[in-house]
Amino acid sequence: MHELEVLENREIADEQHLLALALGETTLSAEYGVPGQYVQLTVGEAKPAFMAIGSAPGRDRFEFLIRRSEGTAGLLCEVAVGGVVRCSGVMGKGFAVERLTGRSTLFMAGGTGISAVRALIESRDSWPGGSRLYYGAKTPSALAWTDLFEAWQRRGVRVYATVDEASEGWNGHVGYPVQIYAQDPLGDGREAALVLCGPGPMCEAATTMLVAAGMPPDMALKNY
């Protein structure tokens, strides 16, 4: 495994850390060519954990969104800047990005699934008209990378952030991502594509709705 220096490690949403690792002289940047790919990370003798790369290909660092929990994920959240994290080679097929060309893309992300979706959104300077992101979290403070929403919208992706439980001062959407989509669904899905990263029931419901609107079933894309 590669030993990578920690450049950033900070909480950016409830119990979720942004972990940034310098790639240095490794081959990892060259290995990572498709958004949605992943690696295994570990510290000390902890069992390696699979983590989706949350930054777009072509950079000199990998970024991850890690939910604090017991075990390896919790240990990763504790590594100080300047410390070392061990990283495997890049794995997985990632999203079939070539199939998205010219299609209005609907991104559906739940929880830390936003990590792989962020990598895909930021891999292109612009997205076709009508592209949308539906991103759900439990509460407003559990939404990660909210500071990037405006930049994603400038790339042509309209952002619909939604929560299960609204808190005081929250003026956004409340409900699951598919419920928010259902409030303004596509009338014709024949030229649409669906990118999915999140809970199984969300992915299944979104696929059913888009296929019913005319989207070819094979245009529901996952990163595994």
pLDDT at 224: 82
Q: Which pLDDT score, from 0 to 100, does residue 167 have?
A: 81
For residue 45, what pLDDT band results from cuts at 50, 70 and 90? confident
Strands 84-87 and 132-137 turn out to be: unpaired
Per-residue pLDDT, 147: 94
Q: What is the average per-residue pLDDT within 75-85?
A: 95
Is residue 175 within 8 A of residue 125, CB to CB? The reply is: no
- Asked if CATH classification 3.10.20.740 holds for the domain at 2-87, the reply, yes or no, is no
Question: Each residue of 139-176: pLDDT tens digit?
Answer: 999 999 999 999 999 999 999 999 998 888 888 899 99
For the chain, which residues make up each domain, given as ranges?
2-87, 97-221
Instruction: State which fold the 97-221 domain adopts.
Output: Rossmann fold (3.40.50)
In terms of Cα–Cα distance, which of 160, 192, 190 is closest to 176?
160
> Per-residue pLDDT averaged across 193-200, rounded?
92
pTM exceeds 0.85: yes
Give percent of the chain with pLDDT exceeding 70.
Answer: 100
pLDDT tier at 39 (50, 70, 90 boundaries)? Answer: very high
3-state secondary structure of 25: coil
Largest CA distance in the chain: 53
pLDDT at residue 127, rounded to an integer:
87
**Rounded to the nearest 5 degrees, what angle is found at the Cα of 59, between the Cα atoms of 112 and 195?**
40
| DSSP states along 159-212 | EEEEESS--TT--SEES-HHHHHHTS--S--TTEEEEEES-HHHHHHHHHHHHH
Question: 21: which strand partners?
Answer: 6, 62
